[in-house]
A and B are shown apart, each in its own frame.
Chain A
Amino acid sequence: MSSQRAAWWFLAPAMVVLGVFFLLPVIAALGLSLTDYDLYALADIRHLRFVALGNYWDLLHQKKFWSALGHTLYFVIVGVPLSLMVSLGAALLLNSPLVRCKAFFRTALFAPVVTTVVAVAVVWRYIFNTKYGLLNYALGVVGIHPVDWLGNPHWAMPSIILFAVWKNFGYNMIILLAGLQAIPKDLYEAARIDGASPLQQFRHITLPMLGPTLLMVGILTVSGYFQLFAEPYVMTEGGPLQSTTSVLYLMYNEGFKWWNFGTASAVAFLLFVIMFAVTAVMLRLGRRGDAA
């Protein structure tokens, strides 16, 4: 009895915080997305009207939502596989028994992960600078003409992807490295005796054994990349020509620039639903791959 009561006292602070400052707002967001809450309602709540699924309906008929979703999907579809390949490559290199100074390389490759997005985005903005940037200078040395990386609608998103991969790959590298180290060494031993080449070993031992870790890392990375916001906010302000405006950027603009809280909440919920669906599909495909 007293142990029961003690348990609730121990739980209370955390549950109040999570309940009042997370669960309640999430439920409220669903309600908000069914209203036309805007600047007028902010000033006087009597202006608030219930519009049912009106916000969702409008959004699904507006170009700005689809283009924001398109930019986000571009970022996810190109960025996640690229990031995973770099992470896996780095993990494989670090896992090689031939490597010396392993701890040093691991720390160096991981360092960008702990840095502040805004700060390193500012740094990369200068690396991408058309006139004085190091990237164009280096390309100029090999005879490639300067590219307006962040000012050209075709190049802005690839530039942000490049930056994001640089910033994030170390995180998955560490997890994949741990996964690689967990693969029993005698599997490779036996394969070598059977005459399997390193490539065959990778294809038939490393990849299948790493499968569950890759799936998990993939799902976490996809959810993370769907939440693209700070990078375009600092590097391109969503431009040029809206080419880097992500779904969250749209939510931010709708909500905190134009004070259309109803529409913004609907954007947030649509993003949530899309993320949930993508994750579920990935899980299902992953499980089926396991069974096969």
Chain B
Amino acid sequence: MSTRAAKAIIHGLLIGGALVAVFPLLWMLAVSFMQPGEAGSLPPPLWPAHATWHNYEVLFLRAGMGRYLFNSFAISAAITLLSLAFNLMAGYAFAKLRFAGRERLFQLMLGLLVIPAQVAMLPLFLMLKSMGLVNSYAAVVVPAAATAFGIFLVRQYARGIPDELLEAARIDGAGELRIFGQIVLPLLKPIMVTLAIFTFLTAWNDFMWPLIALTGQEHYTLPLGLASLAREHAQDSELMMAGSVVTVIPVLALFLAMQRYYIEGLLLGSVKG
């Protein structure tokens, strides 16, 4: 087989694959601008005949999508900030501070990684219920405020910080908090960005736990709002597509803007893990 033929085949396959991967997303965007009922005609239209914002208006004015959007942002941002702070501190401690039982505690924490999160969900629900926290932002934010995986990632990265740097600061009389804030954090910036994007995307896309913990519509995140809309308005495909667009666009945009960091994190988490 000649190189040219091979090149053509490879590109043909890649273009086909990319089309299959991206087409549902583009079609979702196109249908979201169609008139009500337009998508239910044959052949399935690929492009809106008369583009309209109608579906988005219905979503935000009548279906409460604005509220869901706000909740999603608030919850994802809170989880990202809190877990970033907690994971960075703990990961740094595991990597650079000496204390009795360090290795054993770290092993125990890694052991948690094999337990599927769903095992904890039932008692967690009862526990939060007794604390009066079911159906509050806290019910989703607090349990996600630290992750074994995040701590592991930070620890691996922080091990590269030279001990001499920290010792020198200690001899100069700097406190541990100051060393962390002024020396360690700037050095951890790349892993911070990676972890932040990862956490935000995971929190945004999360479904099962919010479905359990957030029982009232006023606290719904976008995936919950969309799932409940999908059950009520199964026939309004244009409306549902607009809802999907609103849900997907923020994370897709974040990913496209920060792709390099995201891919890096993905490889860090798996290849070295």
Contact = CB atoms under 8 A, between A and B. Distances in A.
Interface of A: 2-4, 6-11, 13-15, 17-18, 21-26, 28-29, 32, 42, 90, 93-94, 96, 98-100, 104-105, 107-112, 114-120, 122-127, 129, 131-134, 137, 166, 170-171, 174-175, 178-179, 213, 216-217, 220, 223, 226-227, 229-230, 233-234, 237, 248, 251-252, 255-256, 261, 264-265, 268-269, 271-272, 275-276, 279
Contacts of B27: 123, 127, 134
A22 to B, nearest CB: 5
Interface string B127-150: 100000000000000110111100
A287 B119 CA distance: 29
Chain A interface mostly: helix
B270 A7 contact: no
Given A98-B7, A122-B244, A116 B251 contact: yes
B99 A4 contact: yes
Given A17-B142, A116-B247, A116-B251, A7 B22 contact: no
Given A114-B201, A116-B251, A166-B24, A178 B267 contact: yes
Interface stretch (B48-56, B58-66, B186-194, B219-227): B219-227
B123 to A, nearest CB: 4
Given A23-B112, A105-B18, A261-B126, A271 B118 contact: yes
Interface in B195-209: 201, 204-205, 207-208
Interface string B228-260: 001100000100110111011001100110010
Given A21-B142, A174-B267, A96 B17 contact: no
Contacts of A98: 3, 6-7, 10
B10 A99 contact: yes
Interface residues of B, number: 96
B44 interface: yes
Nearest to B176: A6
B243 to A, nearest CB: 7
A282 B121 CA distance: 27
Contacts of B211: 233
Given A8-B99, A123-B241, A134-B44, A272 B115 contact: yes
B271 interface: yes
Contacts, number: 273
A114 B255 contact: yes
A174 B263 contact: yes
17 contacts: A14-B146, A17-B143, A17-B146, A21-B145, A22-B112, A29-B122, A109-B21, A116-B251, A117-B207, A119-B226, A120-B24, A123-B241, A133-B44, A216-B270, A230-B208, A233-B211, A233-B227
B14 interface: yes
A133 B10 CA distance: 29
Interface string B87-129: 1011011100111101001000100101111111111111100
Contacts of B147: 18
Contacts of A100: 11
A256 B247 contact: no
B122 A264 contact: yes
B205 A117 contact: yes
A276 B17 contact: no
A89 B127 CA distance: 46
B41 interface: yes
Contacts of B248: 115-116, 119-120
B25 A7 contact: no
A7 B91 CA distance: 10
Nearest to B41: A132
B200 to A, nearest CB: 11
A174 B263 CA distance: 8
B28 interface: yes
A122 B14 contact: no
B42 interface: yes
Contacts of A275: 116
Given A4-B98, A174-B266, A11 B89 contact: yes
A129 B100 CA distance: 60
Contacts of A223: 116
Contacts of A230: 207-208, 223
A118 B207 contact: yes
Contacts of A119: 28, 222-223, 226, 243-245, 247-248
A18 B124 CA distance: 12
A99 B205 contact: no
